Every structure is written in structure tokens, then in C-alpha cells.
Amino acid sequence: MLTLPKGYYAVQADFENAPKDSFTFKGITYSAKEGENLFGNIKDAAKLATEVPQTVLEGLPYESFSTPVILFSSGVNRIDGYLIERSITLLGEGAGIDPNVFSEDPLAAPTLNPLRGENESVLYGGFEYGELQVSSVAAESIVFDGFVLKKVRLYDKRRDGGSFRIEFNNIIQEGTCGKTLLRSAAPKEDSKLYREIYFKNMRSSHYNDSKKGGGFANIRANKAVFDRICFDNTTQHFGFTNLCRSFDNSSPNVDVSEFIIKDSYLANLQGEYGICTVAKGDKGVVLKAYNSVFVDASRENEGVFQPDLSNERSGVYAENCTFVDTRANKGALVTPRGGKANIELKDCKIEGFAKEVEEIIIPTPTEYIENRADAWTTDTEDAHKILPLNDADFAAMDAYYEGTKAYYGDMHVHTACGGTSDGSVAMSEWPAALEKNGIDFVVIVDHRQMRGFFLPEWDEKRFVMGTEPGTVLRELNAVTGAEIIHYNMLFPHKYGVAMVMANFPEFGFKGDELTGRYGYPSFTLERFRELTAYVQSIGGMMVHPHPKDLLESDDPLDYYHGEFTHLEALYSWYESSWSFKGYELWTDILALGKRVYVSGGSDSHSDPSSIPFGVFYNREHLAKNFFDQMHDGDYAVGAVGMKMFVDGKPMGSVVEYKDGMKLTLRVDDFFPKMFKDNSAYELRVITDKGIAYSSVYDGKLPQALELEVQKRAFYRAEIFDLTNCRFVSISNPIWFD
């Protein structure tokens, strides 16, 4: 038996049941020693992986190595998180074997190489722990070669250093997974970091991201190359920015970054923005494509390339490529923002597009939303009659809100108050910080306890009571192993948690109000619905927080907890993929005829809230009042206040429809920190039939609108920042019987 040479370190799948003195790789068995060059996981192997091989093992297409090498056996190798501290090469059974077999027909999708697919080295990552990270400047090269990747991702946190190269070679990426495979941090302005990223011989087919919006790759690099990759039929946002286009692909230490796609096949890309690069400031990004095929490589009637060309250094260049849209695209192949300069399509075959290039132009905002001297009908998908402001009647709504002012809240936070709380800032420090930040109240949902409600530092003005348990619901149509949900239970008084614990012994609560803690029991779907009904029966609320973070399902009803529960659509920060996909999920649930309130929260476990996730109009600064408004849905999620009224009823109400009804709407009190000058804000009124009204304004002045109500399931309003691609306000609906 051959001895595993120095410089190679082996990781064996199912280590507990495997031999401890040998290791088999690419059909050859080597003698090895446990704890010296044979291990059960990457963490233990990497600790000792310091020597560089002087020989190349049989079956590996390398001439030599410049880093230590970690070999992975066939089977599932779980990645429970790891901080990479030095250069390393990771090799699986598929190292050197291209997973794609390209067809002579350029429009046909590459097939799976028969030499791949069996006896693969699978790197599998869980929800929390599947991320490898690199931050040390000592790491100059990281190579992944020959793996199947499932829920594993790499976060390159380096912001300084010298030359740094990342390679993904001969990789098969499999879903379901809503996480981003590769993220890279922005280099410092004066950094000498030169980051190069290479994807070569990669395959991703029928990849489902569970509508999470994480994206394939968010890259900041001097150079990124995608060579002989096959992406066919994926719901994942391809990249290379994020869903709000705020992720900058340029590098501050180089004038122009290059993103190159060559000899590749991309088809049926169902995520947002097709293929998109963004450059902020005066640094550029040039997207280049050579000898590649793009078939239906965007959503219907959208561009394949959707770059930001806001500076003269950025551009798009394609040569000898085939672009086909079999759906008769009514738009253009390239739809840039910021200008049409520096776009060249050379010797390309283009079929199925109405145009080659068409710039996306953000409308110029005006001081006021559109209104007219006479009544008029909107030219929208759900046309409505708009009444002139001179004839509009706001008396009932103004009387209802008389004496109120705008209060700003964050409806999901965690503090440090002892016990099982996992926040990092003491509860006693929150009131002063909130006052400084202009945030009037927060909903505290510390895990596994009720302790905070009974402490002397509990602030009745600023703190709403709640707690955040978790459970597993295996009866859902979710991905196996990803049936996890959290839920926030909110209460109008201090004894709500105790009442739940007394009636649901599954929680296993032990102790008193200060020392007690509960567990996270699994529930049947029926029992969970009983829990929801009970919480509501005692005046409480059930909120589904961060719905697109834990649970993985394509079925909107898996996220539905019952009528007049709340869904946290705006989550973490306004520009997050969770917020975009949470909003999309909420609208999907509304479209199914369900009545669910929209909610929002930062889920801060550290610094006290500094931006709002809801605007409430109330007469008194008192947490109980804000709870009551949340309970009834009379608030807007985001940073802009809304008052919406029909037949004497505000947002969140159910109204019996009658002919002749009018909807009145006022928009005001933009939270200063969230306002961005020189931006175009689109106010939309939406029904179950579509957009009833839309108009763009500059966000500076209060706005008012009245329209005639038609027989619809609901009306709601929202404000979308077209310039910065983010929601800044989402009202709760008014429903109609």
C-alpha cells in the first residue's frame, strides 16, 4: 500500500465508520494516520495542513502545488464553518474532470459528463454553519476542485493585502439553497489587494433558490473569469450585484475591473436582472463575453445584460456570442442604466429581441404626485378614477388622525438582559440610544424567556413585549431539513408568555418569571395553529419573522400562519434580499385571498435601532398604544408615514363594500436618515387586480390623493425608491367583504 505523501491531508466522510489507517482517493488506497494526515473534518485537517506536497498524486492534472492540499473522500463531507487562515488547495474526487459535455449544437444544453455524478465528494453546509471565511492576508490562494457543492459558500472578508486568487474548478452546484456561493468584501481605498476570481468548468442545472434572492455571486474583484460554465434553468439571481443593485462590483484600487464570460452556456435564468454589473463612483466595471451562448437568459421581456454604466469607464463587450430569446422578447438584449456608451456587440447572432440596446431611464421626479383639475382615469393595469384635490374630501380621515404625530418603531430587536437573551447591548442602555437615534419604540423578542418584562429597566414608553421561539413543521411542502421557522409572539401585558407556557406544556418551561426558560418544541401543523389561535384569543399577535431566511419552500402557504397574523416582509435592512423576497412572499399570500398584515424589523442583536421599520400615527408616546395599532394593522412598514382611509376605517380594517366609496390617502413624515435627495420615489396604490395609481415625486413634501373605490378584495399603498431600488413604505391593506 502506498503511503500518503507529505503535504497531503485527507478528510474522510463518515469518519466514525471508516478505517483510521488508510484513505482512498481516485481509486488508490494510501496508508494514513489518524490525527496526523487523516481527519474527520476540514477544521482538524486545516490546523495541521502546513506542508506543501513535493509530488503530484496519480490522477491529478497538476504539474505541482504551491499550497498544502486537503483531499476529500467520496460521500458527504459536512462543512460546519471554517476560517481559512492560509493558502490552501481543496480537492475532491472530481478534481480535473469537467462536469459538462458541450454539444455540437450550440443551442443545446451541455449534458452531465458520465465520468461525474457518482462517487462524488460532496461538501454540504447547514443553514448557519456552511460558510467558509477568509480574512487573513496570509492567504494568497484558495482552490476548490472537483466537488459537488450543497449549501456551502465562501465569504472573502479580506480588505487588504497583496495578490489573492480564488478558483472554483470542475464544480457541480446543487440546490435547493438560497445562499450566495461567493461574497467578497470591498478593498480599502488605499489597499494593494489585487483579487482575481476564476470559475472554470462549473455546472448548475435546475438550481432552486427557494425564492430567497441570495444570488449566485456578489463579487468585488479586479478580475473575475467564468470559463466553460453551464447555468441552465435556475431560479437564482445570477449576479453579480444584489437585488437592490447597491452592491458595487468595482474595486477602489483599480480604474477598471473586468468580468469575463467565455466559452459558456447560460439558459433559462429566472432571477432578477439577468446578468448585471454595478459600478459606483468613478471606478468602472467592463462586462465581456466571448464565444458563449445565452438562451432565454433573463426574465421575460428583460435584458440579458443589465449593467450600470453611470461612468465612462464601464461598458459591455460581446464577441462571437449567440443570444436567443424563444419567447419573443419585447425589450432589448442590453438594458443599461446611466447611459448607452461603451456597448459593443461584435459578430454576435441575436434572435428574438425587439432591440439590441435600450437604456432604462429613471423618471424625473416632481414636487407633487400627479393630480389634475378635473377627475381623470389612470392608465394603469387596474384603471381607477382619481378625484381632483379641490373636490376631495379628507374630513373623515383628518378627524380620525387629529392630534396624532408620527412615531417610528423597530418591530424586532434583541437585548442583553440576562438569562437566555442573546443581544449584546444591555436593555438599560436602549432608551437613551433610541432617543438619540430618533426611534420611538422597539418590540423586544428575546429568546426563550419573559425575564425582561419584569426588570426595573423595562420602559413602558418604548418597549413592546414579545418573545421569539422556533419550531420544525414537517408537514409543510418544504425542502427536507429546512422546515424550520421562528415566530414572534407579542402580548399586551407581562403575563402573556406565562399564559402560553401554562397552556402548551410542550415548551417545557421551568422556573419563574425571572429565571425561567422554555425550549423550542416541534409542532404538528394542527397544534401550531392551535397555538396561533390561543395567542390571538388572549389579545396577542403572531408574527412570522425573517420568513425568507430559515424555511425553504416554494409554497407561499407554508409561510402563512393564519388570518390577521403578521409577516415580516421588510427585514434586517431595506436593501436586503430578505426584504425583496419577503415583500414578494407577502404579495403572493395576499393574491391567494389571505388576510395577513405586513411587518418589519431589524432583528438587531447588537446596536440599538437607528432606522425605523414602521411609522405609527398616535396621540401618545406609549408602547401599549403602538401594540394596539400593530394588532389592528393601522401603520405603514418602512420610513414614510401613510394614512389611508375608506368609509371611516383605517389601514388593517375590513370594510363592507358599497358603491360610491372613496379612498383617501396622505403621505408624509419621511424619516430624515432614510431620505435620499435627487431620488425618484414612486407612490403606488395597488389592488388585487394590479396597480390602480402610480406617480413619481421627489419625496420632499406631503402628498394627498383620493380615488373612487371599485369592488376589489383589497387596496394598499407603497412607495418605491426607483433610483436606489428599495421600498421605503408599505401600507397595510384595507380589505373588502
Report the pLDDT value the prediction gives residue 339, as an integer from 0 to 100.
Answer: 85
Residue 289: name the closest of 312, 263, 307 by CA.
263
* Helix, strand, coil share of the chain (percent; to 5): 10, 40, 50
In a domain, 644, yes or no: no
192 and 131 part of one domain: yes
10 and 94 part of one domain: yes
In a domain, 245, yes or no: yes
Measured distance between the N- and C-terminal CA atoms of the chain, rounded to whole angstroms = 78
* Pairing of the two strands 703-708 and 662-668: antiparallel
Q: Looking at residue 532, which CATH number applies to its domain?
A: 3.20.20.140
- In single-letter form, the type of residue at position 583 comes to Y
15 and 151 part of one domain: yes
499: which 3 cell numbers?
A: 399564559
Strand order in the sheet with 649-650: 376-377, 385-386, 703-708, 662-668, 641-646, 649-650
Final residue of a domain: which of 604, 638, 672? 638
Final residue of a domain: which of 182, 202, 230? 230
In a domain, 548, yes or no: yes
In a domain, 643, yes or no: no
Which residue's entry shows cell 384569543?
A: 537
Inter-CA distances, 49 with 7, 92, 129, 470, 483, Å: 7, 16, 21, 39, 37
Report the pLDDT value the prediction gives residue 108, as an integer from 0 to 100.
Answer: 97
Q: How does pLDDT run across 299-335, given as a tens digit for each residue?
A: 999 999 999 998 999 999 999 999 999 999 999 999 9
Question: How many Cα atoms within 13 Å fall on the side-chain side of residue 285?
Answer: 31
Q: How far apart are CA 141 and CA 279, in angstroms?
A: 26
Report the pLDDT value the prediction gives residue 128, as an integer from 0 to 100.
Answer: 64
Final residue of a domain: which of 181, 210, 230? 230
Low-confidence ranges of the chain (pLDDT < 50): none
Which residues pair with residue 736 across a beta bridge? 655
153 and 50 part of one domain: yes
Which residue's entry shows cell 421599520?
A: 613
Is residue 400 within 8 A of residue 632, CB to CB? The reply is: no
568 and 653 part of one domain: no
Backbone angles phi and psi of 123, in degrees to 5: -100, 115
Report the pLDDT value the prediction gives residue 248, as an integer from 0 to 100.
Answer: 94
Report the pLDDT value the prediction gives residue 734, as an integer from 0 to 100.
Answer: 99
**Strand, coil or helix: 62:** coil
Report the pLDDT value the prediction gives residue 480, as an integer from 0 to 100.
Answer: 76
In a domain, 396, yes or no: no
In a domain, 398, yes or no: no
Report the pLDDT value the prediction gives residue 214, as an integer from 0 to 100.
Answer: 85
626 and 678 part of one domain: no
Cis amide leading into 216 (omega within 30)? no
DSSP annotation of 270? -
165 and 190 part of one domain: yes
297 and 354 part of one domain: yes
Report the pLDDT value the prediction gives residue 478, as an integer from 0 to 100.
Answer: 86
| Environment class of 605 (CB within 10 Å of its CB; exposed 0-12, middle 13-18, buried 19+) | middle
Provide the number of structural domains found in the chain: 4
Residue 272 domain boundaries: 237-361
522 and 379 part of one domain: no
Measured over the CA atoms of residue 112, residue 115, residue 117 and residue 123, the dihedral's sign is: negative
340 and 372 part of one domain: no
138 and 272 part of one domain: no
In a domain, 702, yes or no: yes
Q: Looking at residue 663, which CATH number applies to its domain?
A: 2.60.40
Q: How far apart are CA 268 and CA 205, in angstroms?
A: 10
In a domain, 77, yes or no: yes
Which residues pair with residue 28 across a beta bridge? 25
Q: How does pLDDT run across 377-407, given as a tens digit for each residue?
A: 999 999 999 999 999 999 999 999 999 999 9
DSSP assignments along 119-169, one per residue: S-EEEEE-TTT-EEEE--TT--EEEEESEEEES-EEEE---S-SEEEEEEE
618 and 663 part of one domain: no
Report the pLDDT value the prediction gives residue 290, as an integer from 0 to 100.
Answer: 99
Report the pLDDT value the prediction gives residue 127, as an integer from 0 to 100.
Answer: 60
The residues near 472 (Cβ < 8 Å, ≥ 6 apart) are 483, 484, 485, 522, 523
